[in-house]
Structure 1
Amino acid sequence: MECLIQQDLSKKRIDRKYFYTLIICLIIGILVRVLFINSIPPGLNQDEASIGYDAYSILHYGIDRNGISYPFHLISWGSGQNALYAYLTIPFIYFFGLSPLTTRLTSIVFGIIGLILFYFFMKRITTQRVAVIAFALLTICPWHIMISRWALEANLFPTIVLISVFFLVKSFSNKKLLPISSITFAISMYAYGTSYFFVPTFLMITYLYMLKHKVILIKDALINALVFITFSFPILLFIAINKLEMASIKLGIFTIPRLTGESRMDQISSVFQTDFLKTSINNFTQFFRIFLTQNDGLPSNSIEPFGYMYLISFPFFVIGFWEILVNIKKREFHGINIVMFWFLVSILMTFIANVNINRINIIFFPTIIIIAVGINKLYQNKSLGTVAVSFTMFFVLFSYSYFIEYPKKISSRFYESFGEAISYAATQTDQHIYITEKINMPYIYVLFYQKINPYEYKNTVVFQNPESPFQIVTSFSRYHFGTEGVKPTDKTVLVLHNNDAESYDNQQFDITKFKNFSVISEKKHRISP
């Protein structure tokens, strides 16, 4: 373990070499996270549209689409959606308007912040060489590249935790920074539901470790625990309200809402299930398979065969894990041990949650660090060049797959051109628009692309299942979802998948095709776009 924690020799000469490596990695890292961001991923995922529209609605009307004033947690589909991403997106929408790009800007910005901060965090806990290796790995990491390019609320959580742990580690030498760490940890509780278990558990273990080694006093631990509870209190109250089935609470202009159905976290958690032990074992087995194969079957989370960090990384992970474990056994206080706590608490979380890659995303920063430690071990054997070439080759192949082949594969899952079809249909009639129900939550795309007034939506919406965790909207205003038995007339326009549009005669109807969707209207009533 000495090679991990000792200071580099010939520091001045090595720093110059590392500096150029860092600059090259940073340029590559930024480019691969921002190039073609308007078209890759193509279209928009329903969760992106949801959080983007709610951010727009809160900005301009002070309510989300469910009519909740400045909610601490979004009701979203009924089962909830964490609100931090939406609030951080509001400035981009304010300056540049609502669009897929402005909705994704939060992910892009935090992806780049996380990339840069990751290096400085590593410098605090390891040698410069290990920090550079870890930074290079994160630069080319498929998981981090992909989460930086689309607006899933879960994608924000790992970076907020990284910021929190960075200040925590800096507080080892400056106790004044510990409250900042406590506050950012509290903020992470608003980022994603898995934080409800991970953050308190990680903090408890880490504080006990710091107390044992007299890095902090009991007074420091208690004060910062109070800071954490104070800033996270609204989300803790939100959890209590929905677990105890209490009414929503108004705090001035802000609201702690009661969801319309069981929360999403309760649905994927095994904590309150009767067969807890069996379910927990199944959850961990599922996680272990995903962690080894680096694939959860969701193309929005990983691309075969590259996974979250390339399959060649696993041997280095084993070596790095052993290296850090040896350091812990020495009973010496060191920041690298915090990484192991981070990793192990993430593992513990997998027992109580039905995981996929985005639900267990908190594990990947420590995983990359452990891999970097393993690669660093080989430096003494003059194998680093071979390792660097191997990872570079995989990165080049991944980049080709992501930028050339992936858009074709993901196009239908992100409903590419659906927004164009909706916007065009709205110009073809001021009456009824019937929209295919064969996509996930089609109504949210109408709200997003047409920028519907949330009061209009709230006052006219008709739900098929109003008490469900996933409310199905059958209609609102002039928009209807479901096209069975409906034909285009002078008062009716249809939006369908291109395959479904093939049954319509283009001699009788105007059929305007976009990449995946078509707008069908009665020919004599067509209005030029």
Structure 2
Amino acid sequence: MTIKSLLLNQNTSQLAAGMNGSHKNFPKDTPSALLRSSSLSRNILLFLILFLALILRVWGLDKVPVSLFGDEVDVGYHAYSLSKTGKDYTGHFLPLHLKSLADYKSPLYAYSIIPTVSVFGISPLGVRLPAALFGVLGIYLLYLLIKQAFKNNSLALLTAFVLTISPWHIHYSRWGFEGTLMLALFTAGLYFFLRSLEQGKWLVFSSIFFALTPLSYHSAKVFLPLTLVILALLYGKNVVKIQKKYLIISLIAFLIITIPFVFSTFFGGGTDRFSSTSVFNSKTASSEIGFDRLQDARIRDSKALFGAKGSILDRLFHNRMIYFTSQIINNYLGAFSTEFLFISGDPQPTHNVIGHGEFYKLEAIFIILGLVFLFLKIENIKIRLLLILWILTAPLPSILTKDGSSHASRLLFLLPPLIILTTLGIYHSYYLISKKTRKIFVVVLSLVYFLSFIFYQHNYWVHFPWDSQRWWHSGFKEAIESVVSESHKYNKVIISAAEEPPMIFFLGWSQFPPAEFQKKYPLVQENLDHFGKVSVLGNFSFPPIGLDKNLYELGSILPENSLYLAPAKEIKLDLIREPERVPSDLILIKVIKHPSGEPAFYLLAKNENKKAN
């Protein structure tokens, strides 16, 4: 499979029709042999692309990322609970928002992984495999969308291939996150909508897929309504011409799905997530505004103190409206920055390979060229406007949130249209240059793409596991399994919260019976000396925060006959290299290591027969 074969694979109907007049100067030099066998070769190429996509997303899914991140364990335990009891783990029957220990989540991904969690348990394969499959499905759906919108099989194949090797898409297809499901549903909705303009029956399918999209991830709650408004403005006159029975069925299907979900969003806790991530929920806004006003005041009077009443001009230039407006604009522009798209990407190690852009650097050129060709080569104004408005509105779900300028999860709707621009740039560049230089173009482009891809894969498989191991919560599985296996020997087992709130890791990795947890939720809290109020589940205790004590104080404050799971960062010593530093009033039962060999957790017990050194 080569880029040249993707560029040349077209059929005669496309050459004759273009996009019903949507392409200027459509290439007419496709080899006749390829034209005669276009259908077969197209299907073979599509199969190879999807097979490659599957391999890139499923291979080593249990090894990289190195462990299930806390959110993955959470959604896995929800699915486990739903499969066993029909309720989420906090006891809500078939909920439209999942109440987690930290916040409320959109439910669809948890429901979708019930089969794999039932088969593979709460494991990387059980939680992540559906995301990988949704990723492959999304590639196929984008192929169909481009084929429908541009009436160009070659462009559709090229788009599918570029998305297949996209770092952004590969990464989000390899962990248990809702993003690939959201993109697949949205792309399906848009594809069937465009088809419905030719055959009205497809509008029913479009309405169902669009209605399901917000149930997948929070960003869609903002983006989908914007998209529906855009589609109404662009295609409203076309839609009203569809047979009434299809319009009525589509509307009913859409309302049946969305009304309960909208009600749950506004009255059932669905807005809690936005409240916690909103830029308006800034703890530093007042102090930053106050500091700016103080600077202005000190220019006039060097003795001015913090908190002093500013002048009218101070308040005019430094206030909450200006502050938050600036944050929102910066977030919006940051989403299109070269830093985010091509250089460093999302700085969170769970969202991106550290130091790698969301796109390959060479794609920056073709995105710009694609934008130019969109206006020069695509005559269908509605398709042109749809793509432009898709790009312009894609960052809107993210800009009102903290880190909104570089949050790859909340900016996922930006991925497909930029991929489309990339392929428009490649495709039309190929046909713009002379025939003599096309082979050189293909060879150079293929080589640069190949090297970029190999470099990314090297980083992903070699460096990323170690660089990101702490953020992927490696060691928790082994730590919880060790704690559970030893717990019957002790009256009390304390699991520290110094690394992360440990409750969900305990529930997920121990596969604690959901029905039993539901009966005890919310958990009883009791006072434990030196630990404050702890949540209690059997003989397990979960403090709200980590201890501010060193290793040599630990033995004196642990209860009698107790077991303590401590993150290595709480102990602040490397007991692998220096086991002799364990005090005599403690017993080091086990060291749990990160993949790098560094200590992740220490399992310690109180030595009842000894006092501290």
Q: How would you bin the TM-score normalised by the shorter chain? A: 0.7 to 0.9
Indicate whether 1:82 and 2:102 are aligned: no
Deviations 1:337-392 (A, max 9, x none): 54333323214445444421111111101111111001112112222332122111
Equivalent position of 1:111 in the other structure: 135
Distance, in Å, in 1 between the alignment partners of 2:137 and 2:239 is: 32
CA contact (8 A) 2:398 2:410 kept: no
Look up the match of 1:343: 391
Partner residue, 1:265: 274
Q: Is the 8 A contact 2:203 2:247 kept in 1?
A: no
1:111-190 pair list within 5 angstroms:
111-126=135-150, 127-190=152-215
Give the letter for the 1:419 counterpart.
Answer: K
Match of 2:367 in 1: 317
How far 1:521 sits from its partner (Å)? 2.9
The yes-or-no answer on 1:406 pairing with 2:464 is yes
The CA deviation string for residues 368-426 of structure 1, in whole angstroms up to 9 with x for no partner, is: 11110011121122223321221111111111111121111121111112111111111
Equivalent residue for 2:51? Answer: 27
Q: 2:566 aligns with which of 485, 496, 510?
A: 496
Name the SS of the counterpart of 2:541 in structure 1: strand
Summarize the Cα distance change of 1:288–1:235 in structure 2 as closer, same or farther, 3 Å threshold: same
User: Scaled by the length of structure 1, what TM-score is found?
Assistant: 0.85
Q: How does 1:46-61 map to 2 (within 5 A)?
A: 46-61=70-85
Deviates more, 1:126-135 or 1:10-19: 10-19
Tell me the distance in 1 between the aligned counterparts of 2:180 and 2:380.
Answer: 34
Q: Distance in 1 between matches of 2:62 and 2:458?
A: 17
The answer to whether the aligner puts 1:423 opposite 2:474 as a matched pair is no
Q: Which amino acid aligns with 2:185?
A: I
Question: How far apart in 2 are the matches of 1:446 and 1:324?
Answer: 52
Q: Do the aligned residues in 2 keep the contact of 1:460 with 1:477 (CA within 8 Å)?
A: no
Residues 461, 476 of structure 1: 8 Å contact kept: no
What secondary structure, in the 3-state scheme, does the structure 2 residue paired with 1:429 have? helix
Match of 2:592 among 506, 511, 514: 514
Aligned to 2:325: 277
- By relative contact order (CA 8 Å, sep 6+), the higher-ranking structure is 1
CA drift of 1:36 comes to: 1.1
The answer to whether the Cα contact below 8 Å between 2:564 and 2:603 also exists between their aligned partners in 1 is yes
Distance in 1 between residues matched to 2:534 and 2:451, nearest whole Å: 47
**Inter-partner Cα distance in structure 2 for 1:268 and 1:8:** 53
Change (3 A) 1:158 1:342: same
Q: What amino acid does structure 1 have at the position aligned with 2:468?
A: I
Please tell me the residue identity of whatever aligns with 1:438: A
Q: 2:444 aligns with which of 364, 374, 386?
A: 386
Aligned to 1:244: none
Moved more, 197-206 or 117-126: 117-126
The residue aligned with 1:439 is: 499
How far is 1:77 from its partner? 2.9
Q: Note closer, same or farther for the CA distance 1:427–1:221 as it changes in structure 2 (3 Å cut).
A: same
Cα 1:232–1:506 change in 2 (3 A) is farther
Return the alpha-carbon distance in structure 1 between the equivalents of residues 73 and 54 of structure 2: 25
C-alpha separation in 1, matches of 2:375 and 2:237: 18
CA–CA separation in structure 1 for the residues paired with 2:281 and 2:568: 44
Q: Is the 8 A contact 2:73 2:122 kept in 1?
A: no
Measured in 2, the distance between the counterparts of 1:216 and 1:84 equals 33
> 1:325/1:348 Cα in 2 relative to 1: closer, same or farther (>3 Å)?
farther
Q: What is the Cα deviation at residue 66 of structure 1? A: 1.9
Structure 2: gaps (5+ residues): 1-21, 283-319, 526-532, 576-580, 594-599
SS of equivalent residue, structure 1 residue 480: strand
- Tell me the distance in 2 between the aligned counterparts of 1:302 and 1:196: 24
Q: TM-score, normalised by structure 2?
A: 0.74
Please say if residues 426 and 433 of structure 1, whose CA atoms lie closer than 8 Å, have aligned partners that are also in contact.
Answer: no
Give the aligned residue type for 1:35. Answer: W
The alpha carbon displacement at 1:12 in A equals 2.6
Shift of 1:90: 0.9
Instruction: Classify 1:102/1:506 alpha carbon distance in 2 versus 1 (closer, same or farther; 3 Å).
Output: farther
Deviation at 1:507? 9.6
- Give 1:363's aligned residue: 414
Q: Provide the residue aligned with 1:12 in structure 2.
A: 36
CA contact 2:586–2:605 (8 Å) conserved in 1: no
Q: What is the number of equivalent residue pairs in this alignment? A: 499
**Would the aligned equivalents of 1:49 and 1:448 in 2 still touch at CA under 8 Å?**
yes
Amino acid at match of 1:280: I
Q: Please say if 1:91 is aligned against 2:115.
A: yes
SS of the equivalent of 1:2 reads coil
- Of 88-97 and 14-23, deviating more is 14-23
Identity %: 24
Taking a change above 3 Å as real, the CA distance of residues 215 and 173 of structure 1, as seen in their structure-2 partners, is: farther
Structure 2 contact 25–377 (Cα < 8 Å) conserved:
no
Matched with 1:287 is 335
Give distance in 2, aligned partners of 1:119 and 1:456: 46
Q: Would the alpha carbon gap of residues 191 and 418 (structure 1) be closer, same or farther in structure 2, given more than 3 Å must change? A: same
Task: Label 1:411 to 1:347 Cα distance change in 2 as closer, same or farther (>3 A).
Answer: closer
SS at match of 1:434: strand
Which letter maps to 2:140? I
Q: CA offsets, 1:454-494, max 9 Å, x none? A: 35434265589xxxxxxx97443322234636546773112
> Which of residues 172, 181, 201 is equivalent to 2:226?
201
Amino acid in the other structure paired with 1:454: P
Q: Is 2:352 aligned against 1:302?
A: yes
Paired residues of 2:57 and 2:170 also in contact (CA < 8 A) = yes
CA displacement 1:119-177 (0-9 Å, x = unmatched): 23322223222122212211111111111110123442112211212222222322101
Q: CA contact under 8 A between 2:106 and 2:215: conserved in structure 1?
A: yes
2:539 and 2:26 map into 1 onto residues whose CA distance is 65
Deviations 1:184-220 (A, max 9, x none): 1111110111111111110121132123457845956
AA at the equivalent of 1:129? S
Quick one: distance in 2 between partners of 1:375 and 1:154?
Answer: 26
Q: Using a 3 Å threshold, how does the CA distance of structure 1 residues 194 and 428 change in structure 2: closer, same or farther?
A: same
Q: Does the 8 Å CA contact 1:45/1:415 hold for their aligned counterparts?
A: yes
- Please tell me the residue identity of whatever aligns with 2:456: F
